[in-house]
A and B are shown apart, each in its own frame.
Chain A
Amino acid sequence: MPAGADQPKFDYINGPAGVLEDFRLRKLPPIVIYVAIVGAVLSWIPLALIFRARYNTSTEPRIHFFQDMDNQTKFRPQDDNPLFADNRAMRPAVAGAVARGQLNEDDHFVNGYSLVTASNGSQEPQFFNRFPQSVQAQLDDPATAQALLLRGQNRFNIYCAACHGQDGQGKGPIHLRADELTRNGVQGMQWVAPSNLVDQDRRNRPDGHIYNTITNGIRNMGSYASQIAPADRWAIVAYVRTLQFAQSAKPEAVPADKQDVLK
């Protein structure tokens, strides 16, 4: 005999005390409805925030959920380090320090001039009017000359053309803009028009003089030593010479097999 079989069957509907519940389907209690509505409305807020974040820029620092080892306690180039008064993690070279490959023994290659003692006893720079040997060797070899000039053109168009123009005539976009600002009477303009690099003055300049101008600047023009390496400066000098030649060349100077281009 199964357990409980002798007990009276429980009347689930009426129970021991009769009907306890009516059969009308009552509505949900208001609190449940309110919570559901508020929840449904609030659930849109994160979505709206995400939408806003995806379609806008923000000056706030990025949210970084998982740090992992993303930000390590080490210094990368141009990081800041509060240990030093100037906040630089990269330390400027100590005076007199020579980095590897930067011994710069060759005056001609590195400076474009050598110091000679003038008649009054002072040290005067004398510019070399030729290319350093290593550069001249590249120019003499047709196999490397084109590469050198193309490199010069590439560097010229990056660093020089902004002011001097791609043709070297001194009508680059920066000059045009500065000129316009000056004419409009904008405050703080002391613009001096960039030189025409292909005029007779510049043709007469020694190679070393042009090199030195790139290295140390001249008049209005600042130094480009930090942006252009010495070898590239010489490549630019070679390209400036090319521009000067090309813009005064006679049609006969074009090789016979390229004469078609002129027609």
Chain B
Amino acid sequence: MHNLNTVISFEVVRTLKKKTFWVTALSFPVVITVVFAIIFFSNQATEQATLDTQNQKFSLAITDESNAITPQLITQLGAKTLTDKQQGIQQVKDGSLDAYFYYPSELDKQKVEVYAKDVGLFDNSRYQGTADALLNQSIATTVDTETVAILKNKVDFSSVTFKDGIEYDGFKQLIAPGLFLVLFYILVTMFGSQMLTSTTEEKENRVIEMLLTTIKARTLIIGKILSLIILALIQIVIILIPILVIYLQFGDVLALPNIDLANLPLDPVRITVGAIIFALSFLLFTGLLVAIGSAVPTAREASGFFGLIMMLIFGPLYAFTLFISAPHSSIVTFLSYFPLTAPIPLMLRNAVGNLTIPEALIGIAVLGVSAAIVLAIAIRMFRYGALEYSKILSLKSIFATKKNTPRR
């Protein structure tokens, strides 16, 4: 019992004496507060954006071959009626109409067709919602409730949206640029810990002096980062190949959704922007984790910072609805341009198509400059923290006026 108490008091006291314990312990409440604030503001802004969308009016034309739609409701909506379906579709394509609804003669056998101008991935749903509401309200006034219930389950809708006169499917458009976000998430969660401890190994093994007199610190750090990127790419292939094989070989048996890969829309601008943001984000966080690994004496102490970094990177995911519904709000702008939170908002907004080219360029510049700075700090920390086997380096000591002042 005496020994147990001795061990417990020894372990507790020595941990409490470490700065890292207090830094990480005190940082978590701060980060959690920030995350909850993001969620709160995100929800508020999303609700407001939803209300704004619902109240937004749009120009509408309707062709009703079913004769189920009440003319008064069409008038109340401010919509016009057309007899020619192709004319309605063409007016949406050329932008003279926001939306066109086609109600076929046999509602139980044919789909109600909705054609509309693209207004964003989630806002597009307002068109089909209006078409559905119009039908429901019309039949409610003309038929009994039992028929209403039957019709409600029988009527199908198809929606086609147009952007610049060309058919545009927001969900399909999201897939290719959205892959970068998924890859980033997978790689950082899988490799983060390895990045963090990649430079503590040399310290813990006391091999650093031999290395620094054989190879430049810059070469070593860049080599480590590139090797992590190569390992990450291998990991991507390892993840993707079985998924692809299962999908192609057993997709039908497993009833997986049928995605027409050959016709997957590939927007070169969004894919390029996504790839650049992904690469710079990965470089930034690799550099950051390597810098932390260089500043602390052991892998154990480095791991204390891991949770904090993960929360910074992925905290913005809590506000994902906000990135879609209110992409130009102050909080989204801040999260998109603050280096440590920028990757998720930038990649997500690029995927859903609300990141403008100037915004993308600013984001890329922020990430690029930040990655370069962090990388320079990581090299400096490794170089000058090389012989620091027992304590954590401070930025102050790294950038002291007498730049190479030895530390003992």
Q: Are A and B interaction partners? A: no
User: What is B's interface to A at a CB cutoff of 8 Å?
Assistant: none
Which A residues form the contact surface with B (CB < 8 A)? none
